[in-house]
Amino acid sequence: MAAVAELSVRRIAGALGAEVAGVDLARPLPAEAVARLRAAWLEHQVLFFRDQPLAPAQFMAFARAFGTPIEYPFVRGIESYPEIIEVKKLEHETTNFGGIWHTDTAYLERPPMASMLLAREVPPRGGDTLFASMTAAYDALSPGMQRLLEGLKAVNSSAKADVSRTREDRVKSDGRGDAQKEYAAEHPVVRTHPETGRKALYVNIAHTVCFAGMSEAESAPILRTLFEHQTRPEFTCRFVWRPGSIALWDNRCTQHNPINDYHGFRRVMHRITLEGDRPR
């Protein structure tokens, strides 16, 4: 089939990330193409697509080819599409949405399997996103640290100060009236990927408060070490956005950080998250 034969995947960094070409996501994807994309996604952890100016219905159709779209707990979706939220920073704002290394909504009992972001408006420069592989980060830990972390659980909270600050403008303008004040969940510090079987670090500076059964003060030294370790340059890749660019990342084994270096300009993205399972 031509649609499958033309599809190509090019790795862009050593640890993770690949750019996909030869596919038109505005059209229904044949099952073979979806299977190839999913295999590439599991291998590379984040896929990037260019020149895909999808209408909301087309964006939703692409999302459904990979999983089940779910609503974001704090911000309401766009009109007629509650699962699509706007991730935006306006000209007068100085804080960007999610502007810190994180895994999406780790404070939920069932965090999303995946997230996908579609660029609508981008600044003339800046606004790139960094991604980091948590499997590479785990693999690079010493055997002693791996043994120490095995079996530990971490407490993750939506109330942690850093992440609350990065979404406050959107909650003011687009907040959901039914959102809880705080969401919290305990998850394994070392998560086993349900599809690949690989182990990944599953703590992040935006949401992780402490280890279960330990105080914040007792947890802090080890968590600080892990937070510094898991975003080392050799575990990362960087994506430069253009209108119509899409990123699809595996929320179970990656982190991301949108760089806040474009004050005075607009950046508007559409985001969909896909239903996940309970981390194990």
Q: Which residues are catalytic, by number? A: 102, 104, 256, 271
Residues 87, 269: contact at Cβ < 8 Å?
Answer: yes
Give how far Cα 102 sits from Cα of 98, 204, 231, 261, Å.
Answer: 8, 5, 10, 18
Euclidean distance between CA atoms 173 and 223, whole angstroms: 33
Residue 192's Cα: distance from chain center in Å? 17
Residue 2 burial by Cβ neighbours in a 10 Å radius (0-12, 13-18, 19+):
exposed
Which residues sit opposite 247 in a β-bridge? Answer: 48, 117
Euclidean distance between CA atoms 254 and 194, whole angstroms: 14
Euclidean distance between CA atoms 252 and 257, whole angstroms: 15
Closest by CA position to 117, among listed 131, 106, 107? 131
**Tokens at residue 54, please?**
């999808």
